């Protein structure tokens, strides 16, 4: 509104932060010291892709206050549905303002003439009905807000660490091994991939990822991990990690794929989320003084919320048609039902160590802002309603019918997503609706496509 005070909108409050002289001077010094000439102002789409604009660094002060403008269909990856309708807003839809977060500035280690910011998104100030308010389809901004609300409501902070698996292919990366054996964890395989992991880890450290370990897990598959942190920081770092992998692939002339199931009979590319809940400096999943593997009462209720809503969350955790091939290919450590266990790698959720729950549903193409926002919502529901997760696998009656079945396809997952108000409530109404629309269109396109498998099975088969 025209008479709104200057500090009344979220956009104006963000602008005030971006004009803090000490913070601005610190960024300007980093730019000058590194010789940065260009800056990416990037945000993240519903599909987990980094998008934005590049601006000469000399315009830093202008962009810290004004940001950059992009058409709102960008958040849906500028895609049309099967009827030709532009998802996320038609051609005449208003733009949004992407305003950088000062504390996310980094210099790209592979070209120090380029820097980058992560941005949060706002309705442009000139819109009379909503100007300056957070853009409802901003997945990154939504997670930041939801985490603050979660902490205000529960007194807890969600910390997480991701285990992104990536398939690397190219000359010299072929894995030779016995047909009845796996090349997993072999140092020889790490040696073949040494240029890859060295460069990824080096770039990761330069961009704020505290790289802690890595291993070779299946033909072509590397898992490179970094230290856990607050959920929104882990989400930023996962996007950064994927950008690093793409850059390393370009430099080395190989390919990096995050496809959840690259081939039948090999491990899928997961992105397990390892989560813990903290009240101050205490991890509330652990009971003080107990050393045996266990889960506190508060932790049990948080776990109960995760399991109770696992089916509804699958459209976020496994967001592609290909995601569900991980669960159909049996015997490869992907869960087959919604359950939990004490250090049991076959379960949906594994208590892998005291104070840490490992959720195995997310895959390598997950949007971490959506997955963590959903986790905040379902954990909160579990805590408030004291949801019982039941006994761990191997310790109860073995029936395990207390939770819905794990969706077997993206179509089934979308049905469960539409029926779960708690999961959808972890997202804004606009994000939930747009995510459903994009994925329903993806499922419809797949259902209409004739595949190679169908040709092999039916093309020359005589009824």
What tokens were used for 347?
A: 């379960």
Beta bridge partners of 277: 158
114-122 and 95-100 strand pairing: antiparallel
Q: What angle do CA 42, 47, 53 make, to 5 degrees?
A: 20
Nearest alpha carbon to residue 235 among 376, 134, 352: 376
Q: Which whole number is the average pLDDT over 211-226?
A: 95
C-alpha span between 208 and 93 (Å, rounded) = 36
For 14-56, write each residue's pLDDT tens digit. Answer: 999 999 999 999 999 999 999 999 999 999 999 999 999 999 9
Residue 386 and residue 297 in contact, taking contact as beta carbons nearer than 8 Å: no
Q: What local confidence, expressed as pLDDT, does residue 126 receive?
A: 87
C-alpha span between 423 and 416 (Å, rounded) = 10
Residue 204 and residue 226 in contact, taking contact as beta carbons nearer than 8 Å: yes
Q: What local confidence, expressed as pLDDT, does residue 399 receive?
A: 55
* DSSP run (H or E) holding 245: helix 231-252
Q: Which whole number is the average pLDDT over 409-425?
A: 98
C-alpha span between 121 and 11 (Å, rounded) = 9
CA 6 to chain centre: 34
E strand map for 201-305: 211-218, 221-226, 229-230, 255-257, 271-279, 282-283
C-alpha span between 287 and 296 (Å, rounded) = 5
Mean pLDDT, the chain, rounded, equals: 93
Task: Flag whether pLDDT at 437 surpasses 50.
Answer: yes
For 348-361, write each residue's pLDDT tens digit. Answer: 999 999 999 999 99
What tokens were used for 205?
A: 């450290």
3-state DSSP percent of the chain in helix, strand and coil, to 5: 40, 20, 40
C-alpha span between 362 and 231 (Å, rounded) = 15
């Amino acid at each position: 509104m025209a008479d709104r005070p200057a500090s009344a909108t979220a956009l104006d409050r963000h602008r005030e932060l971006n004009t803090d002289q000490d913070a601005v001077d610190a960024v300007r010094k980093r730019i000058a010291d590194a010789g940065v000439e260009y800056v990416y102002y990037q945000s993240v789409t519903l599909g987990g892709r980094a998008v934005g604009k590049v601006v000469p660094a000399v315009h830093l002060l202008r962009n810290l206050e004004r940001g950059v403008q992009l058409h709102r269909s960008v958040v849906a990856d500028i895609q049309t549905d099967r009827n030709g309708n532009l998802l996320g807003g038609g051609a005449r839809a208003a733009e949004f303002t992407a305003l950088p977060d000062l504390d996310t500035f980094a210099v790209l280690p592979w070209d120090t003439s380029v820097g980058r910011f992560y941005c949060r998104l706002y309705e442009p100030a000139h819109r009379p009905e909503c100007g300056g308010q957070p853009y409802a389809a901003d997945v990154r901004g939504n997670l930041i807000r939801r985490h603050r609300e979660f902490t205000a409501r529960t007194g807890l902070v969600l910390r997480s660490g991701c285990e992104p698996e990536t398939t690397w292919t190219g000359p010299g990366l072929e894995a030779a091994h016995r047909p009845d054996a796996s090349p997993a964890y072999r140092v020889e395989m790490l040696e073949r991939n040494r240029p890859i992991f060295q460069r990824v880890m080096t770039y990761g450290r330069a961009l704020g990822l505290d790289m802690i370990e890595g291993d070779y897990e299946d033909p072509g598959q590397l898992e490179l991990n970094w230290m856990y942190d607050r959920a929104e920081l882990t989400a930023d770092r996962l996007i950064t990690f994927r950008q690093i992998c793409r850059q390393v692939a370009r430099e080395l002339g190989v390919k990096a794929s995050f496809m959840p199931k690259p081939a039948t009979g090999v491990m899928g590319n997961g992105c397990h989320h390892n989560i813990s809940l903290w009240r101050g400096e205490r991890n509330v999943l652990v009971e003080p003084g107990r050393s045996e593997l266990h889960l506190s009462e508060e932790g049990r209720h948080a776990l109960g919320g995760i399991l109770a809503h696992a089916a509804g969350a699958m459209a976020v955790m496994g967001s592609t048609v290909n995601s569900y091939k991980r669960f159909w290919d049996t015997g490869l450590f992907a869960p087959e039902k919604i359950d939990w266990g004490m250090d049991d790698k076959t379960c949906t959720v594994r208590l892998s160590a005291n104070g840490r729950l490992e959720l195995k549903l997310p895959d390598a193409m997950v949007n971490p802002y959506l997955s963590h926002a959903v986790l905040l919502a379902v954990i909160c529901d579990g805590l408030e309603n004291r949801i019982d997760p039941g006994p761990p696998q191997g310790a109860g009656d073995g029936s395990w019918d207390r939770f819905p079945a794990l969706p077997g396809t993206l179509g089934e997952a979308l049905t469960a997503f539409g029926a779960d108000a708690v999961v959808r409530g972890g997202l804004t109404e606009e994000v939930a609706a747009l995510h459903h629309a994009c994925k329903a269109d993806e499922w419809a396109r797949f259902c209409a496509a004739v595949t190679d498998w169908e040709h092999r099975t039916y093309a020359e088969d005589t009824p």
